Amino acid sequence: MLSYLANPQRFDGFARRAIPIFAVLATLCLAVGVYMSLFISPPDYQQGDTIRLMYIHVPAAYMSMAFYAALAVCSFVYFVWRHALADAAAEIIAPAGALFTLLALATGSLWGKPMWGTWWEWDARMTSVLVMLLVYLGYMALRAAMETPQHAARLGAILAMAGSVNLVIVKFSVDWWSSLHQPASLIRLDGPTIHGSQLGPLILMIFGYTFLGGWWVMYRLRSQALDRRIKTLLNQREAKGAL
């Protein structure tokens, strides 16, 4: 897929079609999901209306991990094959992933206070997600500190691939160590353990976050490609004028 989209014209055509589709799907899923989360889904019998934080927190946590997985894959593709599109995608994914991770931590803290009696606990899941945020920020800082784009791409790819070890820890932390977090309740071999009245809005919100993230990446990638094309044309015009 990346090889096919490496051609600027093919990528521009694909992105031009995909961007509005992603925008419409994100808007529909989020609009219906927010309405169902606030007005259709009933209060939890134990947590009351506090459970509604789940519809923000869980999709944000999912996106933080999904974006880091995408960052690691793009970094690997660039590191092995020097694929320019993969590096551009990694550079764009990092700030979006950091934002979702920050949202997951913030909403988790708000949810944890009434449920656990504390804003923060250094348990395995919360600590590993915090480490993931620091890796995101470190990746962006490292790229910004490099003198050349080539050094930024290569060293950033190494850091992103190394940080993927922590992604495994985030995923399985509740199974490996004692944690305040409950085990997986959505993606399970025996099916979700969440009641249908809560599962529907949650899935809609997850899809809405996913389409929103996809829209963001495609939009930024196309904008970056167009910007490079304009600069190339201007440089060619200046070179012809100098002759």
Residue range(s) defining the domain that contains residue 151: 20-178+199-242
Encode pLDDT of 126-180 as tens digits.
Answer: 999 999 999 999 999 999 999 999 999 999 999 999 999 999 999 999 888 877 8
Encode pLDDT of 107-120 as tens digits.
Answer: 999 999 999 999 99
Is 2 inside any structural domain? no
Is 11 inside any structural domain? no
Q: Which residues are bridge partners to 45 per DSSP?
A: none
Is 29 inside any structural domain? yes
Confidence of residue 10 (pLDDT cuts 50, 70, 90): confident
Confidence of residue 187 (pLDDT cuts 50, 70, 90): confident
Is 93 inside any structural domain? yes
Is 3 inside any structural domain? no
Q: Give Dmax (Cα) for the chain.
A: 78
Specify the number of domains making up the chain: 1
d(CA 138, CA 144): 10
Is 41 inside any structural domain? yes
CATH number for the domain harbouring residue 71: 1.20.120
Please give the single-letter amino acid code of residue 122. W
The C-alpha angle with vertex 83 and arms to 78 and 86, in degrees rounded to 5, equals 65
Is 189 inside any structural domain? no
pLDDT at 22: 98
Is 215 inside any structural domain? yes
The structure tokens listed for 68 are 């880091």
pLDDT at 227: 86
